[in-house]
Amino acid sequence: MEAGLNSVQSWSDLIGPEKEKPYFKGILDFVNARRAVAQVYPPPAKVFEAIRLCPLDRLKVVIVGQDPYHGPGQAHGLSFSVQPGVKPPPSLLNIYQELQSDLGIPPARHGYLKHWADQGVLLLNSVLTVERSKPKSHADCGWEQFTDKVIEMINLHCLGTVFLLWGSPAQKKGRQIDSSRHLVLKSPHPSPYSADRGFFGCRHFSRCNSYLEETGRKAIDWALPDLLTQKVAFGPGDTGAHPALFAFLRLEGSIPVVGFPFQDFDNTRSALTVFAGGKNFQPVLLGYLNNRLSWAHFKAEIVVGDIDLKGVVCRLVGHGLWFLRSLEVSW
């Protein structure tokens, strides 16, 4: 048995008509109206990212989440996933713990799950938008009806899909799934509040892969590769009454890195933010500043993910007594 299609060829065939219905247009009107007065996640271009990254002809697994993360810079359209450089949330850390127990895979150093989506894992939230610091703020606006339809169409038109349903909301959403056509695996949610009630030890990842292989398909590589990084070194600076840093920049590797303004200095350690094409990434390693010397040496790994950074200006911006000058490098 091969996973994939029956009577449809693409997501457009499967759910295209749904997007023409009045309720769906009502969802979009509601979300657009809220964006005008509140911070809504994920950005408009990422709302349907789960579907975009997982073409129907590659679909093997569906992992159902609830609503997107509601913190700045977290949500990007994939359930349980966060953007490169953002600290993995507790539920995702518990997923990593179960992966290690089940398959011996060490926890990833990031929470960016695109590697799973690229292999045919649909990381689908029940609700596709949320407002900052307001969990479930877009529940009942219509998204549940739309994502119910997505699951219904997969159930009817695909064969041999693995559904991982963690927590009662996901299991309620999956009541319609025909277990004679698909593998349905259920457990408590990986949240710290429920993971020890049956998520830990569920072995869903190995059971999923065994089913895929038994039905003639390639198993999912659940091990997340390290994100593409560039190592950057700064120093030494010039001397003077005030310890100003006139930095030089060294890039190890051939892929350009975007501008990285330094922020939030306390004269002991630095916080680093990376901006790429309007996207905001946090560092995986912080540099240190010696507040007694007239120069500083920084080393940082800059997460750039899969963003095309060609032609972007790289800028080191200083502020306060420590940073009185700036350096710009462009490619």
Q: Which residues does the annotation mark as catalytic?
A: 67
Residue 106 contacts residue 99 (beta carbons within 8 Å): no
Angle at the Cα of 36 from the Cα atoms of 30 and 39, rounded to 5 degrees:
95
Residue 113 contacts residue 78 (beta carbons within 8 Å): yes
Helix axes 22-35, 143-157, angle to 10 degrees: 130
Instruction: Give the containing element (helix H, strand E) for 184.
Output: strand 183-187
Classify 6 as helix, strand or coil. coil
Phi, psi of 6 (to 5 degrees): -120, -80
Say how far apart CA 210 and CA 204 lie, in whole Å: 10
Bond from prior residue into 188 cis (ω within 30 degrees of 0):
no
Say how far apart CA 245 and CA 276 lie, in whole Å: 24
Structure tokens at 291: 């507040």
DSSP letter for 132, please. Answer: T
